[in-house]
Amino acid sequence: MDSETLVFVEVKLRTGTWAGAPEEAVDDRKQARIRKAAEVFIARNRAENRSVRFDVIAITGAGSHPHIEHLKDAF
């Protein structure tokens, strides 16, 4: 929850750049799967009247100094 908004968050980690940026892995197909899961959660928890947001946490690097980016309302 972020105030009155129900937030679904996808977390992606990339230790290197060879596979692209972490947020690039949240493609249309992955977004559709996340939306479907959100629909099921909302129905089961009677949260139909809540506003909804989809965020991505993109983590690059490894070890003690990763770069973490929070992309609010990513899709």
Q: What are phi and psi of 2, to 5 degrees?
A: -125, 95
Q: What is the pLDDT along the chain (75 residues), one digit of tens a residue?
A: 999 999 999 999 999 888 899 999 999 999 999 999 999 999 999 999 999 999 999 999 978 999 999 999 999
Q: Can you give the pLDDT at residue 18? A: 87
In the three-class reduction of DSSP (H, G, I as helix; E, B as strand; rest coil), residue 67 is classed as strand
Q: What pLDDT does residue 30 have?
A: 98
DSSP strand E in the chain: where?
5-14, 51-60, 67-71
pTM: 0.92
**Total tally of structural domains belonging to the chain:** 1
Its domain, for residue 19, covers: 5-71
